[in-house]
């Protein structure tokens, strides 16, 4: 089993995200997801450095809960899934097809959850990185929903049978991913993780992605392109040197990286083709 509950230390997880136990209610889920997103950065450092992220819960917890790192969807949502179960929620895992603005998705490569609460189905996702909603959304609601970081909507794609999550942008609705009711087993997640981390057609082996919070400032990094979002709007700049990267990753995002890792990341980032 990838996610055996006996191996999950809920108290350590809650200390890491700065939260007391919550009730298994919509408000409790909102509080839990928001706290995790604010405390645990999205980061694709391991695939970028040629490492295969682990999918077993003890290794994920050692890396993120006690090791001071972040992770990507298979790691971050494994923690959220385990925490939800430990707190009395009944989450269901889905492997979504990422669309990235396209009318159809690619392979099943994004782990997220749904959960029934008070007669409604909620979408829970703490591993989508910068574009994802900060709070859970009503998964069966077709009308746009307001989150603290933007407006979202879900709709049914008749051609694929998927529920599709869109985010509103200045150019209209941008499809993020689509998911369906297909059963997801542990081996499905392990295979998807391997594909995402090693296949050259996927973004993670080729590009560095970081996302998280520094206070009320939302931080996003794609290779060397840094985006900072506040209530006043967004600013964009390019990281100039290794010191700027270290200040962002280890400083503002709080990632526990040693000097060798920081140097290896910047050595690759500093090359014009990212390789």
pLDDT (tens digit per residue) in 222-244: 999 999 998 888 999 999 999 99
Indicate if 166 and 215 belong to the same structural domain. Answer: no
Indicate if 151 and 257 belong to the same structural domain. Answer: no
Indicate if 127 and 263 belong to the same structural domain. Answer: no
Q: Which residues contact 215 (CB under 8 A, 6 or more apart)?
A: none
Q: Is 115 a catalytic residue?
A: no
When pLDDT is averaged across residues 211-219 and rounded to a whole number, the result is: 95
**Which of 197, 217, 245 is at the close of a domain?**
197
Within-domain flag for 147? yes
**Range in 114-118, 147-151, 229-233 the model is least confident about:** 229-233
Within-domain flag for 275? no
Indicate if 228 and 127 belong to the same structural domain. Answer: no
pLDDT (tens digit per residue) in 151-208: 999 999 999 999 999 999 999 999 999 999 999 999 999 999 999 999 999 999 999 9
Indicate if 38 and 169 belong to the same structural domain. Answer: yes
Set 81, 94, 110, 128: catalytic member? 110
Indicate if 192 and 213 belong to the same structural domain. Answer: no
**Which of 143, 175, 197 is at the close of a domain?**
197
State the Cα–Cα distance between residues 71 and 128, nearest whole angstrom: 11
State the Cα–Cα distance between residues 158 and 274, nearest whole angstrom: 38
pLDDT at 275 over 50: no
Q: How confident is the model at residue 220 (pLDDT cuts 50, 70, 90)?
A: very high
Tell me how many domains the chain contains: 2
**Distance set, CA 148 to CA 8, 108, 151, 198, 247 (Å):** 30, 28, 8, 34, 27
Indicate if 49 and 147 belong to the same structural domain. Answer: yes
Set 46, 125, 128, 196: catalytic member? 125
**Which of 150, 165, 197 is at the close of a domain?**
197
Model pLDDT, residue 231: 84
pLDDT (tens digit per residue) in 50-79: 999 999 999 999 999 999 999 999 999 999
Indicate if 138 and 264 belong to the same structural domain. Answer: no
Residue 82 structure tokens: 């385990």
Indicate if 134 and 213 belong to the same structural domain. Answer: no
Model pLDDT, residue 233: 86
Within-domain flag for 178? yes
Nearest to 154 by CA among 127, 191, 193, 125: 125
When pLDDT is averaged across residues 137-150 and rounded to a whole number, the result is: 97
Q: Is 81 a catalytic residue?
A: no
Angle at 204 between CA 105 and CA 148, to 5 degrees: 70
When pLDDT is averaged across residues 207-226 and rounded to a whole number, the result is: 97
Q: Tell me the H-state helices in the chain.
A: 10-17, 26-39, 45-48, 57-64, 73-86, 186-198, 242-246, 259-269
Within-domain flag for 193? yes
DSSP string computed for 53-106: ---SHHHHHHHHTTT---B-HHHHHHHHHHHHHHTT--EEEEEEEE-TTSSS--
Angle at 31 between CA 34 and CA 20, to 5 degrees: 115
Indicate if 165 and 250 belong to the same structural domain. Answer: no
Evaluate whether 95 touches 84 at the Cβ level (below 8 Å). Answer: no
Model pLDDT, residue 1: 46
Within-domain flag for 202? no
State the Cα–Cα distance between residues 206 and 91, nearest whole angstrom: 32
Indicate if 184 and 219 belong to the same structural domain. Answer: no
pLDDT at 121 over 60: yes
Percentage of the chain beyond pLDDT 70 is 96
CATH code for the domain of 110:
3.30.2140.20
Q: What is the pTM of this model?
A: 0.95
Q: Is 227 exposed, middle or buried (0-12, 13-18, 19+ CB in 10 A)?
A: middle
Within-domain flag for 203? no
Indicate if 147 and 230 belong to the same structural domain. Answer: no
Q: Which domain holds residue 89?
A: 5-197
Q: Is 110 a catalytic residue?
A: yes
């Amino acid at each position: 089993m990838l996610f055996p509950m006996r191996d999950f230390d809920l108290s350590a997880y809650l200390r890491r995200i700065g939260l007391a136990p919550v009730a298994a209610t919509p408000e409790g889920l909102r509080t839990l997801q928001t706290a995790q997103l604010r405390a645990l950065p999205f980061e694709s450092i391991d695939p970028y450095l040629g490492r295969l992220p682990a999918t077993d819960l003890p290794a994920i917890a050692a890396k993120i809960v006690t090791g001071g790192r972040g992770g990507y969807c298979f790691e971050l949502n494994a923690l959220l899934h385990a925490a939800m179960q430990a707190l009395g929620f009944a989450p269901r895992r889905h492997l979504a097809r990422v669309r990235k603005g396209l009318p159809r998705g690619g392979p099943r490569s994004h782990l997220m959850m749904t959960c029934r609460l008070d007669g409604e189905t909620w979408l829970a996702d703490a591993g989508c990185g910068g574009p994802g909603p900060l709070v859970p959304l009503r998964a069966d609601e077709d009308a746009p929903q307001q989150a603290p970081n933007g407006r979202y909507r879900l709709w049914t794609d008749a051609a694929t049978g998927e529920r599709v999550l869109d985010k509103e942008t200045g150019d209209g609705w941008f499809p993020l991913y689509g998911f369906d009711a297909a059963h997801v087993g542990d081996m499905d997640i392990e295979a998807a993780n391997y594909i995402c981390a090693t296949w050259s057609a996927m973004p993670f082996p080729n590009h560095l992605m970081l996302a998280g919070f520094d206070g009320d400032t939302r931080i996003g990094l794609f290779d060397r392109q840094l985006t900072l979002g506040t209530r006043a709007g967004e600013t964009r700049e390019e990281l100039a040197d290794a010191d700027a990267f270290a200040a962002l990753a280890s400083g503002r995002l709080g990632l526990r990286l040693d000097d060798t890792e920081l140097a290896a990341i910047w050595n690759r980032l500093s090359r014009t083709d990212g390789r």
